[in-house]
Amino acid sequence: MKGLTKRQREVLDFIQNYIEIHHFSPSYREIMKHFGFSSAGSVHKHISALKRKNAISNEKNCSRSVTPVDAPPHEKSSGAVNLPFIGRISSGMPIETFSQITTLAVPAILVPSSEQCYIFQISGDSLANDFIADGDLIIVEAKNNPEPGELVIALINNNETTIKRYFPEGLYIRLEAPHSNAMPITVRSDEIYVQGSVIGLMRMYK
């Protein structure tokens, strides 16, 4: 594309390559880290210049929606949906919600219904035995009637959040972590509130 400086072309190429690998666009922080910029303001300057030159497009106030204008159709933002990014979650700890909820663009193929799904970031390594690592992003479908064996986010006795496999057993619910030697948790059905089922995971490799 004509009219771009060398650095603008490099930023555009990085965005394009990132989308080809991850199937969603990079964040400002990731662009800043890749190029060694001193602040996110430098990224904003280059992104704004690329937008003025019609090299990229993005949705206002939406993270990870920057898309090269001439990207193949399957890589454009039309193949993504924007989900609320609620906060951080760790098994056994209260949910840490952000003061201002933002959105993230994720591949539409991962989301059955964008109106009922949202995103949490995993905090800590308590789910390592489930192959869910610190910093992973999980996609959650809000529902309180999961199928047996689904990985759910549940509130126990109104004060403890857990992420476990769900197995109803009459008046009781058995919650267990696969690939772990930890004993299952068994609670009465009236002592648990299922907030949603985990339906997808996104991981950023450093």
Q: Does domain 6-75 fall into CATH 1.10.3720.10?
A: no
Tell me what pLDDT residue 2 has.
59
Residue extents of the structural domains in the chain:
6-75, 80-202
Query: Which of 159, 133, 154 lies closest to 197, judged by CA?
Result: 154
Q: Which residues carry out catalysis?
A: 126, 164
Tell me what pLDDT residue 65 has.
64
| pTM score above 0.85 | no
Tell me what pLDDT residue 159 has.
79
Tell me what pLDDT residue 35 has.
92
* Equal fold, 6-75 vs 80-202: no
Tell me what pLDDT residue 179 has.
64
Considering only the top CATH level, what class is 80-202? mainly beta
User: Along the 206 residues of the chain, how does pLDDT read in single tens digits?
Assistant: 557 898 999 999 888 888 777 667 787 888 888 999 888 888 889 988 898 888 887 655 455 667 777 655 444 444 678 889 988 888 767 678 887 778 888 877 777 766 789 999 988 877 777 778 888 999 999 988 888 989 899 988 887 888 888 999 999 999 987 666 778 889 999 999 999 999 888 887 65
Tell me what pLDDT residue 61 has.
46
